[in-house]
Amino acid sequence: MEELSHFINGQRVAGTSGRFADVFNPATGEVQARVPLASVEEIDAAVAKAAEAQVEWAKVNPQRRARVMMKFGQLINDHMDELAELVSREHGKTLPDGRGDVQRGLEVIEVCMGAPALLKGEYTNDGGPGIDLYAMRQPLGVVAGITPFNFPAMIPLWKMGPAIAAGNAMILKPSERCPSTSLRLAELIKEAGLPDGILQVVNGDKEAVDALLDHETIQAVGFVGSTPIAQYIYGRACSNGKRAQCFGGAKNHMIVMPDADMDKAADALVGAGFGAAGERCMAISVAVPVGEKTADALVERLVPRIEALKVGPYTAGDDVDFGPVITKASQDRINGLIDSGVDQGADLVVDGRGFSMQGYEDGFFVGPSLFDNVTADMDIYKEEIFGPVLSQVRTETYEEALKLTMDNPYGNGTAIFTADGDTARDFASRVNVGMVGINFPIPVPLSYYSFGGWKKSAFGDLNQYGPDAFKFYTKTKTVTARWFSGIKEGGEFAFKAMD
Ligand code: NAD
């Protein structure tokens, strides 16, 4: 069995804690590797080296740092298929989804190639007589990135790109379920010219995370994962005086108006609801048709599309629409939630429980499920299922659909399908959700915007990637300056030197 490592000071190193986690092949249910779980001492050593290396990295001019990003981007492109396969092997998503995972991370690296422009400061000439003011953006020092299992390439790249381009060193703690992609990315960025110690990949669990949260040297924590952990990490990091931005879970609603193109709405719901087995924080998990006729028309179109979905291992090629979920526990939890939906009175129109595939009987597969007549008090509505389950909540009016979306505690993404510009405009302006799609089911902003939800989907006041990330990973220093040699005899200027 493969034994994975950490990536510290420019090389792969074995763990010394003696603790490991199993890394599964979700399609077969077999353990395919084990990953070391770092101890507090290993975290301390990684942080110490990062702090030392960061001093020199901060002095490297922004354009040279951007060149490392440029080379890194090229290498990611050159290794696209290899990285996608690493993602799919541990996550279970299809190879096209694996490539998408790498691609959406690469796009953030492309924006980091423009770091010099994003790091430019401000200047006021003659803010007073002979007085100039300027503000500069300086790196924070050593920062931590803690990432989830569901995008093993994209989210580590969202974290490391802006942090490093801004002159910081990063301790990246990827998900212990999908650690290999981060280790490979660390090798590639080293090959691109990044000095040793600036990106340290430390594998681990709660012990490693808590050590980072409590470490005096760590200046900022960028987290992505489930809401309870996001809230915990935000609280602990902030109470230790660190900057934190912690992105959490989601329950994304898609409103379908009676005037929407029903075929396009159904296609969008199937792609956004079941793609990557629903393991996306921007997955649509709640369809909200307005009016009984709309709801009936939607179900009529959804059922054949969902029944035609092909589930299987990524190795079966492009024919597969989605793969297994991440763990046995996740499979059991999803099946249990489907049971609860039936018990609580929802109509299970397509039942994905009990899915089995010859040769992959022990894989963590769940077939696609569709519920109709779901109500807001049911567990399948309240919980983030994070699996291939779509729930339809019928509403009578647009206002009712909007209220349902707004009353939900999560606020990551939402969408409306309609042919009416006024309705779409009203929705975009009033809804209390961070990312909104108009006839667009998964409105992940392009990499030169920033990504972030509202309500329980994000804690902290800046979004990730794009311009916000460069604000998050730098602090502003403002200088007020004057030069006495410029003051003429007789005091032409109306100020005096301070004591
Ligand atoms: P998770 O919260 O279980 O784990 C995320 C990270 O936190 C991992 O690195 C894990 O090792 C660490 N962790 C887990 N438990 C911890 C604990 N008790 N103390 C300290 N650290 C701990 O999330 P996951 O299951 O890996 O990912 C799925 C979740 O991530 C979903 O809820 C999904 O919606 C969310 N997500 C959110 C976004 C976003 O941008 N909002 C993006 C992707 C995924």
Domain ranges of the chain: 2-248+457-480, 252-438
Q: How many residues does the chain have?
A: 499
Residue with more model confidence, 80 or 488? 80
Average pLDDT over residues 463-488: 91
Question: From ligand 1's centre to the CA of 413, what distance in Å?
Answer: 17
Residue 494 has pLDDT above 80, yes or no: no
139 lines ligand 1 (CB under 6 A): no
Q: Whose CA is nearest to atom 34 of ligand 1?
A: 249
Instruction: Note the pLDDT tens digit of each residue in 150-188.
Output: 999 999 999 999 999 999 999 999 999 999 999 999 999
Query: Which CA distances in Å does 257 have to 261, 300, 419?
Result: 9, 16, 8
- Which of 223-232, 413-422, 484-493 has the least mean pLDDT? 484-493
Q: Tell me the pLDDT band of 490, cut-offs 50, 70 and 90.
A: low
Q: Which residues contact 78 (CB under 8 A, 6 or more apart)?
A: none
Among residues 112, 178, 246, 281, the one annotated as catalytic is 281
* Per-residue pLDDT at 161: 98
Residue 111 has pLDDT above 90, yes or no: yes
197 lines ligand 1 (CB under 6 A): no
Query: What's the mean per-residue pLDDT of the chain?
Result: 96
Question: From ligand 1's centre to the CA of 8, what distance in Å?
Answer: 23
The residue to mutate among 90, 175, 227, having the most atoms of ligand 1 within 8 angstroms of its beta carbon, is 175
Query: Which CA distances in Å does 302 have to 8, 269, 274, 297?
Result: 49, 8, 12, 9
The pLDDT > 70 percentage for the chain reads 97
Do the strands 454-455 and 410-411 form a parallel or antiparallel pair, or are they unpaired? Answer: antiparallel
Do the strands 347-350 and 369-372 form a parallel or antiparallel pair, or are they unpaired? Answer: antiparallel
Maximum Cα–Cα distance for the chain, whole Å? 95
- The pair of structure tokens assigned to 214 is 């409590």
Q: Tell me the pLDDT band of 408, cut-offs 50, 70 and 90.
A: very high
Question: From ligand 1's centre to the CA of 112, what distance in Å?
Answer: 25
- The pair of structure tokens assigned to 27 is 């399609």
Q: What's the distance, Cα to Cα, between the start and end of the chain in Å?
A: 70
Q: Hey, what CATH class is 2-248+457-480 in?
A: alpha beta
pTM, full prediction: 0.96
Fold (topology level) of 252-438 = Aldehyde Dehydrogenase; Chain A, domain 2 (3.40.309)
Q: Tell me the pLDDT band of 434, cut-offs 50, 70 and 90.
A: very high
* Per-residue pLDDT at 492: 57
Q: Tell me the pLDDT band of 11, cut-offs 50, 70 and 90.
A: very high
**Is residue 246 annotated as part of the catalytic site, yes or no?**
no
- The pair of structure tokens assigned to 191 is 């090959």
Atom of ligand 1 nearest to the CA of 149: 26
Residue 190 has pLDDT above 90, yes or no: yes
Question: From ligand 1's centre to the CA of 329, what distance in Å?
Answer: 15
Bridge partner residues of 436 (DSSP): 414
Q: Tell me the pLDDT band of 317, cut-offs 50, 70 and 90.
A: confident
* Per-residue pLDDT at 491: 53
**Sign of the dihedral through C-alpha 209, 214, 219, 220:** positive
Q: Which residues of 420-437 are buried (b: 16+ CB within 10 A; e: fewer)?
A: eeebbeebeeebebbbbb
260 lines ligand 1 (CB under 6 A): no
